[in-house]
Structures are given as structure tokens and as C-alpha cells.
Amino acid sequence: MTDPAPSRPAPALAVEDVACRFGRVQALAGVSLTVRPGEVMALLGDSGCGKSTLLRVVAGLETPDSGTVRLDGRLVAGGGAVVPPEARGVGLMFQDYALFPHLTVRENIRFGLKGQPQAARASADELLEQVGLAGHAGSYPQTLSGGEQQRVALVRALAPGPRLLLLDEPFSNLDRRMRDRVREDTVALLRRTGTTALMVTHDPEEALAVATRIALMRRGRIVQVATGEALYRRPGSLFAARFLADAAEIPARIRDGRAATPLGDVPAPDLPEDAAVQVCLRPEALRVGPPGEGIAAQVARRTFLGAACILHLRLPGMEGSVRARLPDPGTYGPGDAVGVTLVPDAVLVLPDHDAG
């Protein structure tokens, strides 16, 4: 970022205890969330968890049943305030881009500039040039490729200079190869324009790649808000751990501050005695060595990933197989005997009550 986030008293967005119900569906059940200026926050969750509803509430497209929404400290929803979407000064990039098919790319981008000075148009054109679409200004959006449409949608949302940009699954309509590239470009543009952003996604990898902080949602509530790394390394719940990465889970009980597994005891000093826990073994939590080191295991299957590989290991005293990630293609193949030790920092011990 060229410009360090100024120390403002008010957060860019403050959502407080917002609830929203559609008929019998409780889409949001008391959500509180704060987005700091300059931050890119990801709302991560499964479909139907309420993340898109929260985005629409912030944009003013839905009215919450209770709770308040503040933008830069100004009350825009709840507490008697009903500020319509057009007066909120937020940008929204839609999942389907919602480009106006009857307007050219340039007209689309200038749509939000009504009543703004001439300079705004010039900078909108400049933005278009920056994303490499100046040559398409006169084209109609449906003649562009998916990636180009995505960039037009982004520029259109950014052109009026919103104080907060909302992105609804901005990359989900792109194929995988394109996605990484477009994602990087988008993040770069957000940084350069100093835009505060709130992005909805169901893809943890995407949230980790883009966001400065992630708010994990589940069933209309926010489960955990943390930086991507903290969320990944220290998930607050079994749900969060499962959402961020696949892991083999070994049920256990806490005895003397430790959880026993077939691979050895794991320290869990913060959990109460006799608590039911799941010990989560992500692929990076197992170190594989020659037989004799640690616990004896057998390679059942090997998945080659190019630079790395995954070994599916069969361990004595455990049903099914456990996956271990090797940082290199390795030399082990199916049927080989190996020795397995735990990487203590990467093992997660989490209370087994809120999984679902």
C-alpha cells in the first residue's frame, strides 16, 4: 500500500448485532463485525450461511430486522436510520457482474458518476486503461470474455470512489487458471486505490490469498475473526479447523492435559480434564521418515502433486488412512514401510461439541 491507513476514530464499517429473517429462515442471527479502513476483509462460509445477506444488508439492499450498520461512523441502518443503497457511498461488485447489457463498457463505468465532476470521468477512464480494457470502452459487455467482464465490473464499482467496496464471490465465475491471475490484479488494484473491501467467498484458499482478515461465518453467525494465518494455525473451533483444511480426526479425551492418539500423546494444556476432543492431523502435521523413526506405518497410496506429494498412510490402531504431505516428490511408493512422527505445532486439539 502506498498510503498507510490513517488512524481514524471510526471503523470503515461497523455492523452490530444484525439479525435478518426471511420467512422461516434466520439468515443472520446477531452478527457483529468491524472492518478497519484500508483493510480487505473476507466473509468466509458455506452457501446459505448468511454471508451474502450480510453483504446486501451493508449495501442497503436488504433491511435488517434488528441491529445497526455504520459506515465511517455514520448510522445507515437500524436505530431509526434507513439510508437507501444509492446514498450509502458503497460499491458492490456482483457475483454475476450485473453489467448493463444495453450500455457500453464506458457507459457502464460512468453509470455511477452522475453528479460528479468531470475529473471523476477522467479517472474512471484511467482505471479502465489500468486494467487493460481501454480498447474495449465502446464494446458491449456481453462481447467480452469472462475475465474482461470481471474487470469491467470491478472498475465500475470502484469508479465512483466508494469508501467501502463489497465483493460478492468476485472470482467464482472464472475458470481456475484465470482466477489466480485476476485475483492478484484485483488485490493490487484495491491496494493501490486504498479501497477498504469486504469480500464474500466460500473458498478458504481465496480468502487466505486475498484478505488481511477473515470472518468465518456459520448459520447466520460469525464464528471467528482473525488473520488468515491465525485462523489456519489456531482455529477456534473444530468447525473452523475443518473449514480451512481437510484433516484426519482422532477422537480422544483429555487426561492430565494431554490427548492420547495412536501416534503418541499431544499436549492440550488449555482444555479441561476429561473433555471430549478431536485431534486433527492435517497433512503437514505428520513427518514421514524411514522405518524405525517414530510409529511404524505403511504407504497405501501416493498422490503426486508435482512439486510435492501426498502419502496415504495406514497406521496401526487406526481405521482408514491418514494423509501426510511431503515437501518433495519423495521416494516412497505403495506398500513401503515408513516411520511417522507428529509435528507438535501443526497438530490441533479441539473440543468436540460444535461440529456439524
Q: How far is the CB of 134 from other proteins (least distance, A)?
A: 10
Which of 154, 252 has the CB closer to other proteins? 154
Which of 108, 201 has the CB closer to other proteins? 108
Which of 101, 292 has the CB closer to other proteins? 101
Q: How far is the CB of 124 from other proteins (least distance, A)?
A: 9
Q: How far is the CB of 303 from other proteins (least distance, A)?
A: 27
Q: How far is the CB of 129 from other proteins (least distance, A)?
A: 8
Which of 30, 161 has the CB closer to other proteins? 161
CA distance 125 to 134: 7
Which of 32, 95 has the CB closer to other proteins? 95
Q: Which residues of 141-157 are buried (b: 16+ CB within 10 A; e: fewer)?
A: beebeebbbbbbbbbbb
Q: How far is the CB of 94 from other proteins (least distance, A)?
A: 4
Q: How far is the CB of 209 from other proteins (least distance, A)?
A: 15
Q: How far is the CB of 21 from other proteins (least distance, A)?
A: 15
Q: How far is the CB of 193 from other proteins (least distance, A)?
A: 5
Query: Three-state SS string across the chain, please?
Result: CCCCCCCCCCCCEEEEEEEEEECCEEEEEEEEEEECCCCEEEEECCCCCCHHHHHHHHHCCCCCCEEEEEECCEEEEECCEECCHHHCCEEEECCCCCCCCCCCHHHHHHHHHCCCCHHHHHHHHHHHHHCCCHHHCCCCHHHCCHHHHHHHHHHHHHCCCCCEEEEECCCCCCCHHHHHHHHHHHHHHHHHCCCEEEEEECCHHHHHHHCCEEEEEECCEEEEEECHHHHHHCCCCHHHHHHHCCCEEEEEEEECCEEEECCEEEECCCCCCCCEEEEEECHHHEEEECCCCCEEEEEEEEEECCCCEEEEEECCCCCCCEEEEECCCCCCCCCCEEEEEECHHHCEEEECCCCC
Which of 171, 239 has the CB closer to other proteins? 171
Which of 168, 206 has the CB closer to other proteins? 168
Residue 73: Cβ within 10 Å count: 11
Which of 73, 333 has the CB closer to other proteins? 73
